[in-house]
Structure 1
Amino acid sequence: MEHTLKKEGDYSFVEVGEGTPIIILHGLMGGLSNFEGVTNFFSKNGYKVVLPELPIYTMSLLKTNVKSFAKFLKDFIDFKGYKEVILLGNSLGGHIGLYHTKLFSEKVKALVITGSSGLYESAMGSGYTKRSDYEVIKKKAQDVFYDPEVATKEIVDEVYATVNDRNKLIKTLAIAKSAIRHNMAKDLPKMHTPTCIIWGKNDNVTPPNVAEEFNELLPDSELFWIDKCGHAAMMEHPDTFNKILHSWLTKRGF
C-alpha cells in the first residue's frame, strides 16, 4: 500500500482525499492493500477514503465477534467526528458494515457490499486441517479468485502465516462461528439504507445466489455483476468495480 498508515488514539488507518468519507472494511484474510485501486480512484474523485485496521486478531477471544467489530467501527466514526459515511465492505468486512448499519444506521448514508458474509458462511474458517501444507493453502487462496494468478506469492505467504499462527487460527474460527450466529436474514428487510451490491459471477466463497438473496431481502438495494470474477471484485477488476460504484453513487446523489 503506497499510502501512509496513521495512528491516532487507539486506531491505525489510512486516510486519503477530501469529501464524504468512504470507510473501507477489509475481510478476514484481506489487508488494506487489497483496496489500492478503489483508494486511488475515489480519493481523486471527490471522496475521503478511510481504511481502518480492524482488530480482528487483537481483541480478546470473548470479543472476537461481528458485533464487537461493528461497535469498534462506531467508536472509530465517533472518534474521527464524521457526520455521515459510506461503508464499503468485502467478505467479513461487508458483514461488519451490515451489522453496524443494523445497530447504528444514523450516520450511514450508503452501504456497498461485495462478496459479503452475513447470509452464507460455510466457507469461513473451514479447510484448515491441512494448514501446514503450503500447496493446500496456496490452492485455497487461488480459489478465492477467478484468475488464480491474482493470488500472488505474497498473498499466499500471508494466508499461510495466518493459519499457522495458533492465536490467529483460534480467532479465525471464533469469527467463523460468530458470522453464523449473526446471520442477518431476519434483519435485512428492516434495513432501509441504500445499498450497492457488487458481486463476482464466479464467486466460489459466497456464490451468486447469495448476492441475489441480499438483493431480495434489502428494501433499497441494486445488484451489479462482474463477469470472470471471484470473491474479491475490487482486486480482480478494480476499474470495472470503480466504474460501477462511481456511477451508482452519482446516480443516488452521494
Structure 2
Amino acid sequence: MVHELKKEGKFAYIEVGEGTPMIVLHGLMGGLSNFKGVTDYFSERGYKVLIPELPIYTMSLLKTNVKSYALFLEAFIEYKNFDEVILLGNSLGGHIGLLHTKLFPDKVKALVITGSSGLYESAMGDGYPKRGDYEFIKKKSEEVFYDPKVATKEIVDEVYATVNDRNKLIKTLAIAKSAIRHNMAKDLPHMHTPTCIIWGKNDTVTPPNVAEEFNQLLPDAELFWIDKCGHAPMMEHPNDFNRILHSWLEKRNL
C-alpha cells in the first residue's frame, strides 16, 4: 500500500488508520517509506499512524538541532489536537522522541526507541562524508544493516544525493554534532514514561551496549533484541519488530 503525503501549512505527513495516535519519527537519512511495515500493521489494529516529515534540512542552521525538532514535534501534536500520543523513533528520531518526552511528559503515553541516538552513536566513521565517492557511500549505507542487500540502490542514491548537496551536508554535520552534544544520560533516570526498546543485536551505529544503557537508565523500560539485525529493525525485520511492539503495547494496555 502506498500512502499519500498530506501537506497542510508547515506540516507534511502520512496519516493512516483510526484509533490511538502513534507518531513515527524518522532518522537523519531515513525516509518515511522505512516505516511501511509499521504503518500497514498498526493502522489495521486500532492505531492512527502518523509520520511527519521532520524539517531536517529546512530550518535555519542556528535551529538545526535536536531541541528544535522536539519543539516542531510538539507543534505538530498541538496542530493535530492530540491529548496523548505514542512516539516511535529510529536513530535521530528516537533522540527527538526522548527529548520531547522529557520536555512534554504529559503528552507522551508511551515511547518506543530503536537504534536511538541520545547516549552514543558512531557517525559515518572517520572518512565521512566523502563527497562524490559513490562506492564509499554504498559501503557505509550497507554497514547500517546486518544484511547489506537491505541497502537498495534507491537508499544509496538518496544518501549520495544528500552528501553531495552542500546545504544538506552542512546541516547533516550540524545535526550529528547536536546529537552528540545533547547527551541525555542525566535526564533518563527522571523520565518515567513506559518505554519499549527494540534493538538489533548487530547494530554498529548504536551498538548493543547503548540499548543496555538506555534500559538501565530509564525507570520504566523493557529491552527486546532482534538477532541478525542492524540499525533499523523496523526495515530489516518488520514482522519481528511489529510482533514485539504489539505484544508490549497489549501488555501495557496501550
Q: TM-score range by the shorter chain?
A: over 0.9
Q: 1:126 to 1:245 in 2, by over 3 A?
A: farther
The alpha carbon displacement at 1:127 in A equals 3.2
AA aligned opposite 2:159: V
Give the secondary structure class of the aligned counterpart of 2:22: strand
TM-score (norm 2): 0.98
Unaligned stretches of 5+ in structure 1?
Answer: none
Give the secondary structure class of the aligned counterpart of 1:138: helix
1:217-232 matches, within 5 Å, as: 217-232=217-232
Number of the residue aligned with 1:123: 123
Number of the residue aligned with 1:89: 89
State the alpha-carbon separation in 2 of the partners of residues 58 and 122 from structure 1: 25
State the alpha-carbon separation in 2 of the partners of residues 210 and 4 from structure 1: 35
Structure 1 vs Structure 2 CA RMSD: 1.0
Unaligned stretches of 5+ in structure 2?
Answer: none
1:236 and 2:236 matched? yes
State the alpha-carbon separation in 2 of the partners of residues 203 and 124 from structure 1: 13
The alpha carbon displacement at 1:120 in A equals 0.2
Number of the residue aligned with 2:141: 141
Contact 1:125 1:176 (8 Å CA) reproduced? no
Q: 1:158 to 1:135 in 2, by over 3 A?
A: same
Contact 2:122 2:204 (8 Å CA) reproduced? no
The alpha carbon displacement at 1:124 in A equals 5.7
Number of the residue aligned with 1:11: 11
Q: 1:176 to 1:124 in 2, by over 3 A?
A: farther
Give the secondary structure class of the aligned counterpart of 2:157: helix
Cα deviation, 1:178-213, whole Å, max 9, x if unaligned, reads: 011110000000000000000000001000000000
TM-score (norm 1): 0.98
Number of the residue aligned with 2:155: 155
AA aligned opposite 1:70: A
1:202 and 2:202 matched? yes
Cα deviation, 1:140-191, whole Å, max 9, x if unaligned, reads: 0000000000000000000000011000000000001101111000000000
State the alpha-carbon separation in 2 of the partners of residues 29 and 126 from structure 1: 18
Stretch moving more, 4-13 or 106-115: 4-13
The alpha carbon displacement at 1:131 in A equals 2.5
Contact 1:25 1:89 (8 Å CA) reproduced? yes
State the alpha-carbon separation in 2 of the partners of residues 55 and 144 from structure 1: 23
Percent identity (aligned): 81
Give the secondary structure class of the aligned counterpart of 1:185: coil
